[in-house]
Amino acid sequence: MRISASLGTDLEHLARTFHYDSSLTVDPLALVRPYRKDPKAAEIMGIFASTVAVGNVLSIRAALRNLQGKMEGDPRRFVESFPRRNWRTHLDPWKHRWIRHDQMGFLAVRLGEIYENYSRGLQEVFLDECATGRPAPEYFEQGVDCLSRALRFGSTQDKHTFYEPPPGYSQLFPTPLSSPSPPVCKRLCLFLRWMVRTGEPDLGLWRKVPPSILHIPLDTHVYWIAYHMGLTRRKTRTWRTVKEITQNLRRYDPVDPVRYDFALAHTGISGDCPKKPLITVCGKCALRPDCDLWTRQGRRTG
Ligand code: SF4
Protein backbone atom coordinates (compact mmCIF):
# COMPACT_ATOMS: atom_id res chain seq x y z
CA MET A 1 0.00 0.00 0.00
CA ARG A 2 0.97 3.63 -0.48
CA ILE A 3 1.67 5.99 2.40
CA SER A 4 -1.21 8.45 2.53
CA ALA A 5 -0.51 12.12 1.94
CA SER A 6 -1.97 13.03 5.32
CA LEU A 7 0.16 10.65 7.43
CA GLY A 8 2.71 13.31 8.42
CA THR A 9 0.02 15.69 9.67
CA ASP A 10 -1.83 12.90 11.45
CA LEU A 11 1.31 11.56 13.16
CA GLU A 12 2.07 15.10 14.27
CA HIS A 13 -1.43 15.43 15.72
CA LEU A 14 -1.12 12.05 17.48
CA ALA A 15 2.27 12.98 19.00
CA ARG A 16 1.04 16.42 20.16
CA THR A 17 -2.23 15.28 21.68
CA PHE A 18 -1.22 11.90 23.09
CA HIS A 19 -2.05 11.20 26.75
CA TYR A 20 1.58 10.66 27.83
CA ASP A 21 0.93 10.86 31.59
CA SER A 22 -1.66 8.10 31.78
CA SER A 23 0.30 5.83 29.42
CA LEU A 24 3.47 6.34 31.44
CA THR A 25 1.82 4.80 34.48
CA VAL A 26 2.06 1.38 32.78
CA ASP A 27 5.36 1.93 30.95
CA PRO A 28 8.69 0.59 32.30
CA LEU A 29 10.16 4.05 31.61
CA ALA A 30 8.20 5.32 34.63
CA LEU A 31 10.55 3.30 36.85
CA VAL A 32 13.62 4.88 35.22
CA ARG A 33 12.48 8.52 35.21
CA PRO A 34 12.92 9.05 38.98
CA TYR A 35 16.70 8.66 38.42
CA ARG A 36 16.94 11.29 35.64
CA LYS A 37 19.02 13.62 37.86
CA ASP A 38 21.64 10.89 38.25
CA PRO A 39 22.67 9.72 34.75
CA LYS A 40 24.61 6.67 35.92
CA ALA A 41 21.73 5.41 38.08
CA ALA A 42 19.31 6.09 35.19
CA GLU A 43 21.53 4.15 32.77
CA ILE A 44 21.67 1.18 35.12
CA MET A 45 17.94 1.18 35.77
CA GLY A 46 17.34 1.80 32.04
CA ILE A 47 19.39 -1.20 30.95
CA PHE A 48 17.60 -3.49 33.40
CA ALA A 49 14.18 -2.05 32.49
CA SER A 50 14.67 -2.27 28.72
CA THR A 51 16.16 -5.78 29.00
CA VAL A 52 13.09 -7.16 30.76
CA ALA A 53 10.63 -5.18 28.57
CA VAL A 54 9.01 -8.23 27.02
CA GLY A 55 5.42 -9.36 27.41
CA ASN A 56 2.57 -7.83 29.31
CA VAL A 57 3.21 -4.33 30.73
CA LEU A 58 1.87 -5.25 34.17
CA SER A 59 4.15 -8.28 34.50
CA ILE A 60 7.12 -6.19 33.27
CA ARG A 61 6.47 -3.61 35.97
CA ALA A 62 6.06 -6.29 38.65
CA ALA A 63 9.39 -7.88 37.64
CA LEU A 64 11.08 -4.48 37.65
CA ARG A 65 9.66 -3.52 41.03
CA ASN A 66 11.00 -6.78 42.38
CA LEU A 67 14.47 -5.99 40.98
CA GLN A 68 14.23 -2.44 42.28
CA GLY A 69 13.55 -3.85 45.76
CA LYS A 70 16.80 -5.82 45.53
CA MET A 71 18.57 -2.56 44.56
CA GLU A 72 17.20 -0.93 47.73
CA GLY A 73 16.55 2.24 45.72
CA ASP A 74 20.21 2.66 44.79
CA PRO A 75 21.10 1.20 41.35
CA ARG A 76 24.68 2.55 41.55
CA ARG A 77 25.46 0.83 44.83
CA PHE A 78 23.67 -2.33 43.64
CA VAL A 79 26.06 -2.63 40.69
CA GLU A 80 29.20 -1.44 42.52
CA SER A 81 28.72 -3.80 45.45
CA PHE A 82 27.18 -6.74 43.60
CA PRO A 83 28.74 -9.95 45.03
CA ARG A 84 30.69 -11.15 42.01
CA ARG A 85 31.41 -14.56 43.46
CA ASN A 86 27.68 -15.22 43.92
CA TRP A 87 26.35 -13.73 40.70
CA ARG A 88 24.58 -16.97 39.77
CA THR A 89 22.45 -17.13 42.91
CA HIS A 90 22.34 -13.65 44.42
CA LEU A 91 19.05 -12.67 42.73
CA ASP A 92 17.43 -16.11 43.06
CA PRO A 93 14.42 -16.66 42.66
CA TRP A 94 13.80 -13.57 40.45
CA LYS A 95 12.31 -14.50 37.03
CA HIS A 96 10.40 -12.75 34.25
CA ARG A 97 9.13 -15.01 31.49
CA TRP A 98 12.25 -16.73 30.11
CA ILE A 99 14.64 -14.19 31.65
CA ARG A 100 16.34 -15.65 34.74
CA HIS A 101 18.00 -14.32 37.90
CA ASP A 102 21.47 -15.61 36.89
CA GLN A 103 21.27 -13.58 33.64
CA MET A 104 20.39 -10.44 35.62
CA GLY A 105 23.20 -11.25 38.07
CA PHE A 106 25.66 -11.50 35.20
CA LEU A 107 24.38 -8.20 33.79
CA ALA A 108 25.00 -6.53 37.17
CA VAL A 109 28.60 -7.85 37.15
CA ARG A 110 29.15 -6.72 33.55
CA LEU A 111 27.83 -3.24 34.30
CA GLY A 112 30.17 -2.99 37.31
CA GLU A 113 33.13 -3.94 35.11
CA ILE A 114 32.10 -1.57 32.30
CA TYR A 115 31.89 1.37 34.72
CA GLU A 116 35.37 0.51 36.03
CA ASN A 117 36.73 0.90 32.49
CA TYR A 118 34.48 3.65 31.10
CA SER A 119 34.21 6.42 33.67
CA ARG A 120 31.67 8.32 31.55
CA GLY A 121 29.44 5.27 31.33
CA LEU A 122 27.51 3.60 28.55
CA GLN A 123 27.40 6.70 26.33
CA GLU A 124 31.18 6.39 26.10
CA VAL A 125 30.81 2.73 25.13
CA PHE A 126 28.27 3.67 22.44
CA LEU A 127 30.61 6.37 21.13
CA ASP A 128 33.58 4.02 21.15
CA GLU A 129 36.09 4.49 18.34
CA CYS A 130 34.25 1.98 16.16
CA ALA A 131 31.18 4.25 15.98
CA THR A 132 32.13 7.92 15.94
CA GLY A 133 32.86 9.67 12.70
CA ARG A 134 30.73 7.34 10.64
CA PRO A 135 27.63 8.62 8.86
CA ALA A 136 24.17 7.66 10.10
CA PRO A 137 22.73 5.01 10.00
CA GLU A 138 26.08 3.14 10.01
CA TYR A 139 27.10 5.20 13.04
CA PHE A 140 24.03 3.99 14.93
CA GLU A 141 24.52 0.35 13.98
CA GLN A 142 28.17 0.43 15.01
CA GLY A 143 27.25 2.12 18.28
CA VAL A 144 24.61 -0.50 19.12
CA ASP A 145 27.15 -3.17 18.22
CA CYS A 146 29.72 -1.63 20.63
CA LEU A 147 27.11 -1.54 23.39
CA SER A 148 25.89 -5.05 22.66
CA ARG A 149 29.42 -6.50 22.68
CA ALA A 150 30.30 -4.72 25.93
CA LEU A 151 27.20 -6.10 27.66
CA ARG A 152 27.55 -9.60 26.20
CA PHE A 153 31.23 -10.14 26.74
CA GLY A 154 32.37 -12.65 29.37
CA SER A 155 33.19 -11.45 32.84
CA THR A 156 36.50 -11.41 34.70
CA GLN A 157 35.96 -12.15 38.37
CA ASP A 158 39.61 -11.65 39.28
CA LYS A 159 42.83 -11.37 37.32
CA HIS A 160 42.93 -15.09 36.58
CA THR A 161 39.36 -16.26 36.21
CA PHE A 162 37.19 -15.67 33.17
CA TYR A 163 33.47 -16.41 33.39
CA GLU A 164 31.27 -17.40 30.53
CA PRO A 165 27.84 -15.74 30.46
CA PRO A 166 24.95 -18.01 31.54
CA PRO A 167 22.87 -19.79 28.88
CA GLY A 168 20.64 -17.44 26.86
CA TYR A 169 22.31 -14.28 28.20
CA SER A 170 24.01 -13.17 24.96
CA GLN A 171 20.71 -13.40 23.09
CA LEU A 172 19.36 -10.62 25.31
CA PHE A 173 21.71 -8.18 23.54
CA PRO A 174 21.68 -8.89 19.80
CA THR A 175 23.49 -6.64 17.35
CA PRO A 176 22.29 -5.16 14.04
CA LEU A 177 25.63 -6.24 12.56
CA SER A 178 24.95 -9.96 12.96
CA SER A 179 24.33 -11.96 9.82
CA PRO A 180 22.62 -13.19 7.75
CA SER A 181 19.41 -11.67 9.11
CA PRO A 182 19.97 -9.17 11.95
CA PRO A 183 17.11 -9.06 14.48
CA VAL A 184 15.18 -5.93 15.47
CA CYS A 185 17.33 -5.22 18.60
CA LYS A 186 14.26 -3.72 20.25
CA ARG A 187 15.68 -3.61 23.78
CA LEU A 188 18.77 -1.57 22.95
CA CYS A 189 16.82 0.71 20.57
CA LEU A 190 14.35 1.37 23.40
CA PHE A 191 17.13 2.02 25.91
CA LEU A 192 18.76 4.45 23.46
CA ARG A 193 15.48 6.28 22.86
CA TRP A 194 15.11 6.78 26.60
CA MET A 195 18.71 8.04 27.03
CA VAL A 196 19.00 10.22 23.92
CA ARG A 197 15.67 11.92 23.12
CA THR A 198 15.12 15.18 24.94
CA GLY A 199 11.39 15.39 24.19
CA GLU A 200 8.84 13.93 26.61
CA PRO A 201 8.62 11.30 27.91
CA ASP A 202 12.30 10.45 27.39
CA LEU A 203 15.27 11.46 29.52
CA GLY A 204 17.70 13.28 27.17
CA LEU A 205 20.78 12.32 29.20
CA TRP A 206 23.18 11.47 26.37
CA ARG A 207 23.80 14.87 24.83
CA LYS A 208 26.64 13.68 22.56
CA VAL A 209 24.36 11.40 20.53
CA PRO A 210 21.99 13.15 18.09
CA PRO A 211 18.34 11.92 18.19
CA SER A 212 18.38 11.97 14.37
CA ILE A 213 20.33 8.69 14.27
CA LEU A 214 17.96 6.74 16.54
CA HIS A 215 16.04 3.78 15.12
CA ILE A 216 12.53 2.70 16.07
CA PRO A 217 12.24 0.09 18.88
CA LEU A 218 10.11 -2.28 16.88
CA ASP A 219 7.67 -4.27 19.00
CA THR A 220 4.62 -6.11 17.66
CA HIS A 221 2.30 -3.12 18.29
CA VAL A 222 4.47 -0.60 16.44
CA TYR A 223 5.08 -3.05 13.61
CA TRP A 224 1.38 -3.75 13.18
CA ILE A 225 0.42 -0.07 12.96
CA ALA A 226 3.46 0.80 10.80
CA TYR A 227 2.58 -1.99 8.39
CA HIS A 228 -0.99 -0.79 7.99
CA MET A 229 0.18 2.82 7.50
CA GLY A 230 2.42 1.63 4.64
CA LEU A 231 5.62 2.53 6.52
CA THR A 232 6.92 -0.94 5.64
CA ARG A 233 5.91 -3.64 3.21
CA ARG A 234 7.95 -6.30 4.94
CA LYS A 235 6.05 -9.28 6.31
CA THR A 236 8.63 -10.08 8.98
CA ARG A 237 10.24 -8.06 11.74
CA THR A 238 13.98 -7.82 11.11
CA TRP A 239 16.58 -5.07 11.26
CA ARG A 240 15.75 -4.25 7.62
CA THR A 241 12.16 -3.56 8.71
CA VAL A 242 13.45 -1.27 11.48
CA LYS A 243 15.53 0.66 8.96
CA GLU A 244 12.69 0.97 6.46
CA ILE A 245 10.18 2.27 9.03
CA THR A 246 12.72 4.67 10.54
CA GLN A 247 13.69 5.99 7.11
CA ASN A 248 10.04 6.64 6.31
CA LEU A 249 9.50 8.40 9.66
CA ARG A 250 12.51 10.64 8.88
CA ARG A 251 10.41 12.25 6.15
CA TYR A 252 8.17 13.71 8.86
CA ASP A 253 10.82 14.51 11.44
CA PRO A 254 14.42 14.15 10.26
CA VAL A 255 15.76 15.55 13.53
CA ASP A 256 13.78 13.24 15.82
CA PRO A 257 12.31 10.33 13.80
CA VAL A 258 11.42 8.13 16.79
CA ARG A 259 9.35 10.77 18.58
CA TYR A 260 6.21 8.94 17.40
CA ASP A 261 7.29 5.63 18.95
CA PHE A 262 5.77 6.07 22.43
CA ALA A 263 2.35 7.09 21.06
CA LEU A 264 2.32 4.31 18.44
CA ALA A 265 3.38 1.63 20.94
CA HIS A 266 0.84 2.71 23.55
CA THR A 267 -1.96 2.96 21.00
CA GLY A 268 -1.43 -0.79 20.59
CA ILE A 269 -0.68 -1.63 24.26
CA SER A 270 -3.77 0.17 25.58
CA GLY A 271 -6.12 -1.56 23.16
CA ASP A 272 -6.92 1.79 21.50
CA CYS A 273 -6.27 -0.01 18.23
CA PRO A 274 -8.50 -3.10 17.92
CA LYS A 275 -6.42 -4.36 14.97
CA LYS A 276 -9.59 -4.55 12.96
CA PRO A 277 -11.86 -1.79 11.68
CA LEU A 278 -14.40 -0.99 14.41
CA ILE A 279 -16.16 2.35 14.12
CA THR A 280 -16.64 2.64 17.90
CA VAL A 281 -12.85 2.60 18.40
CA CYS A 282 -11.42 3.65 15.04
CA GLY A 283 -13.70 6.68 14.98
CA LYS A 284 -11.41 8.36 17.56
CA CYS A 285 -8.14 7.22 15.95
CA ALA A 286 -5.93 10.05 14.66
CA LEU A 287 -4.46 7.71 12.06
CA ARG A 288 -7.76 6.48 10.64
CA PRO A 289 -7.42 8.31 7.29
CA ASP A 290 -4.01 6.66 6.81
CA CYS A 291 -4.86 3.13 7.97
CA ASP A 292 -5.07 0.66 5.15
CA LEU A 293 -7.26 -1.65 7.24
CA TRP A 294 -9.80 1.10 7.81
CA THR A 295 -9.78 2.46 4.28
CA ARG A 296 -10.16 -1.02 2.78
CA GLN A 297 -12.72 -2.51 5.17
CA GLY A 298 -13.90 0.08 7.63
CA ARG A 299 -15.85 2.11 5.17
CA ARG A 300 -17.76 -1.02 4.20
CA THR A 301 -18.39 -2.28 7.74
CA GLY A 302 -18.66 1.12 9.49
S1 SF4 B 1 -8.02 3.07 12.19
FE2 SF4 B 1 -8.55 1.47 13.68
S3 SF4 B 1 -7.39 -0.36 13.00
FE4 SF4 B 1 -6.48 1.46 12.00
S5 SF4 B 1 -4.78 2.11 13.34
FE6 SF4 B 1 -6.60 3.33 13.92
S7 SF4 B 1 -7.57 2.15 15.59
FE8 SF4 B 1 -6.12 0.74 14.54
pTM of the model: 0.94
pLDDT band at residue 287 under the 50/70/90 scheme: very high
Q: Name residues contacting ligand 1 (CB within 6 A).
A: 225, 228, 273, 277, 281-282, 285, 287-288, 291, 293-294
pLDDT, one tens digit per residue, over 121-162 is 999 999 885 656 665 667 899 999 999 999 998 777 666 677
What pLDDT does residue 72 have? 94
Would you call 89 helix, strand, or coil by DSSP? coil
Q: Which domains does the chain have, with CATH numbers?
A: 1-26+218-302 (1.10.1670), 32-215 (no CATH)
* Among the listed residues 72, 85, 8, the one whose alpha carbon sits nearest the alpha carbon of residue 45: 72
What pLDDT does residue 31 have? 96
**H/E element, 13:** helix 7-17
* Neighbouring residues of 158: CB distance < 8 A, sequence distance ≥ 6: none
What pLDDT does residue 129 have? 59
C-alpha of residue 187 to centroid of ligand 1, in Å: 25
First to last CA, the chain: 21
Atom nearest to 287 CA in ligand 1: 6
Look at ligand 1, atom 1, and give the residue with the nearest C-alpha.
288
Could you give the CA distance from residue 74 to residue 140 in angstroms, rounded to a whole number? 30
Is 239:174 a contact under the CB 8 Å cutoff? no
At residue 171, what are phi and psi to the nearest 5 degrees? -70, -15
